[in-house]
Structure 1
């Protein structure tokens, strides 16, 4: 099994870092305009992920942060081989327009785009973004969103009438036709989440949990995907605290997986042996930890791949 590793960028992490306002007092006597901003920081993280061997950058959706898709577009040329996976909810609007944006993005970055569909927010959060869909209908809306987006991407004319979307004669002509559809990442632990992924996900992301529980959920989703005539790959999302020695860990933030470089890599390899092929990893501070995890954990994890291949 080939392991794919993604660094998770949180647009709201480390507020003030690389923001002009944070530099204002120290540069009060400098009459030149301040040119560095938050997007330079995002680009630094993207370059660090690319330089240290990550396969992609997973850009977290935050209602109070910069838009994930715009971040992805902004950093795309900073790391020309890095996969880019912005996360966003199905409440972003028209599935047809989302598909057109994806096609344009793919043409610009040579098919490096993925989509991570975020869970919808609570009632107050949805009201704040003018989303009137009821709680009971959110999953159905997500399913229609993905069905319509794939439909207009893959055929022309595409017609559909559902509860949330209606399309007549949709689809793309050249030069927009032909770009790859983004790899779709979904997540969730409940049965209805697994069922949705069986029908629509390319990768399902689980929360970190004991290996035996993870194996059981992988088997359940495998069964559902097989019944739907599809193949779904599996991933986990986890925060890390990795250091050279146990003593160095004493002042690190709490994390899902903590230990020496060897220990963290071994725990990730155990998850890979259980069927996990996609790792969405993060640590704080993000830029420095991108280098640390990429230089010291990823090589150790990938050293396990021949063993994992033999076990598969």
Structure 2
């Protein structure tokens, strides 16, 4: 089975420097040299589509634009790229979410993937009117996905749960295809919910030994429920023709971090309730020394950004080798990003993907079709939608 790669839509803005924000970070962002307009995000999406990325993750939170609305607009400017829409189950009813997903599938030509984000920070959740504690949020997510999956299967759903009550719910039209569900979370309760409901379990970029432990744990939990789960990893990338060039870029990014900003971000993230965020912080300890925590795995991004805080840094050959290492552990999907997202997509797509193709680990998902970039806009003007 060839590897699957997804890119990232920076709906909080983009820059040649690291942009603030991310899981558990303040709602304010910094370094937005490129605002997240539909035009710019569409430019990134079309580049990812041409290069062979299957989908693009769009984040959720107070620090970025709404994922549903943004991807609905960007999808109209692309043809094949899927959209991994992050959303929080506690903010919308499961019946409405199932209906929204069904509509998105029909209007986009089946290009929706769902990234379920339960919400690790009570303070942010309360701003949206959600006052459950973390474990209860995960239990509610389990009930939510039970309802959604039943509706997608064409069932009439009744549920009297601990947190949700649904009566006589049914969709007029079910989605075709049914969107795949991506799910992350490092806590014990998150693992149980993921094993029971996820199609793909996502982990942030930790060293291989830690990732292997997660895979074994989630796989074991899924087997107890009679299920199998695929595995993906969320990483940033800095890849260049030579290792020296890549590390020079990492140092340039690091030199641009304001010490006061680093201290403020780290102090905020230290209060996080997220087990995954705690694991990210432990990789660097808030300091700028010894940030290469495994060969070609750099924890510098996590100094100023919440959530995924590690990057693969190195030559195209080195980054391809590290991807192959993760694949041998059981990782089949890679959700990647880099600053700025347009240029870094080309560095990776033109530098790393051809090497993985040579190794038989990847093939362009659209090779058998006419590449979107080969179409001439004016020539088809008479038949354009």
The alignment's TM-score, normalised by the length of structure 2, stands at 0.71
Q: 1:57 aligned to 2:112? A: no
Partner SS state of residue 238, structure 1: strand
Distance, in Å, in 2 between the alignment partners of 1:198 and 1:236 is: 16
Return the alpha-carbon distance in structure 2 between the equivalents of residues 156 and 189 of structure 1: 31
Structure scoring higher RCO (CA < 8 A, sep ≥ 6) equals 2
Aligned partners of 2:312, 2:361: CA distance in 1, in Å? 23
Q: Which residue of structure 2 aligns with residue 4 of structure 1?
A: 4
CA-CA distance at 1:70 after TM superposition: 1.2
Q: Retained in 2: the 8 A contact 1:12–1:62?
A: no
User: Is 1:292 the equivalent of 2:290?
Assistant: no
The 5-angstrom pairing of residues 1-312 of structure 1 reads: 1-14=1-14, 16-19=32-35, 38-173=37-172, 176-177=173-174, 179-249=176-246, 250-252=248-250, 253=253, 254=300, 255-305=310-360
Provide the C-alpha distance between the structure 2 equivalents of 1:240 and 1:166, rounded to a whole number of angstroms: 43
Cα–Cα, structure 1 residues 261 and 290, in superposed 2: closer, same or farther, change >3 Å?
Answer: same
Please give the per-residue CA displacement for 1:35-85, whole angstroms capped at 9, x wherever unaligned.
Answer: xx7111111110010011111111112312110111211111222111111
Paired with 1:247 and 1:120, the residues of 2 have a C-alpha distance of: 38
Cα root mean square deviation, aligned: 1.9
Is the Cα–Cα contact under 8 Å of residues 48 and 291 in structure 1 kept in the other structure?
A: yes
Show structure 2 runs of 5+ residues with no match: 15-30, 254-299, 301-309, 363-385
**Cα pair distance change 1:92/1:231, threshold 3 Å:** same
Larger deviation: 153-162 or 258-267? 153-162
Matched positions, count: 288
Match of 1:31 in 2: none
| CA positional deviation for 1:300 | 1.6
- Tell me the secondary structure at the aligned position of residue 212 of structure 1: helix
User: For 1:81, what is the secondary structure of its paired residue?
Assistant: coil
SS of corresponding position for 2:148: helix
Alignment deviations for residues 175-198 of structure 1 (CA, whole Å, 9 cap, x no partner): x13523211001122332222111
5+ unaligned residues in a row in structure 1: which ranges?
A: 20-36, 308-312
**C-alpha displacement at 1:158, in angstroms?**
1.6
The answer to whether the Cα contact below 8 Å between 1:154 and 1:171 also exists between their aligned partners in 2 is no
Asked if structure 1 preserves the Cα contact closer than 8 Å seen for 2:13 and 2:34, the reply is no
- Alignment check: 8 A CA contact 1:95 1:149 kept: yes
Give the distance between the partners of 1:189 and 1:121, measured in 2 at CA. Answer: 11
User: Contact (CA 8 Å) 1:9, 1:58: kept in 2 or not?
Assistant: yes
Give the TM-score taking structure 1 as reference length: 0.86
Conserved 8 A contact 1:88-1:118: yes
Task: Give me the whole-angstrom Cα distance separating, in 2, the residues matched to 1:219 and 1:305.
Answer: 25
Q: Secondary structure at the match of 2:145?
A: helix
CA contact (8 A) 2:10 2:41 kept: no
Ranges of 4+ aligned residues in structure 1 off by more than 6 Å: none
CA–CA distance in structure 2, aligned partners of residues 4 and 66 of structure 1: 26
CA distance in 2, matches of 1:113, 1:143: 20
**Take 1:194 and 1:228, find their aligned partners in 2: how far apart are those partners?**
12
Shift of 1:17: 4.2
Contact 1:45 1:286 in 2 (8 A): yes
| Cα separation, partners in 2 of 1:260 and 1:134, compared to 1, 3 Å | same
d(CA) in 2 for partners of 1:198, 1:80: 32
Q: Distance in 1 between matches of 2:163 and 2:177?
A: 25
Q: What is the CA deviation profile of residues 13-39 of structure 1, one whole-angstrom value per residue up to 9, with x for unaligned ones?
A: 3254454xxxxxxxxxxxxxxxxx711
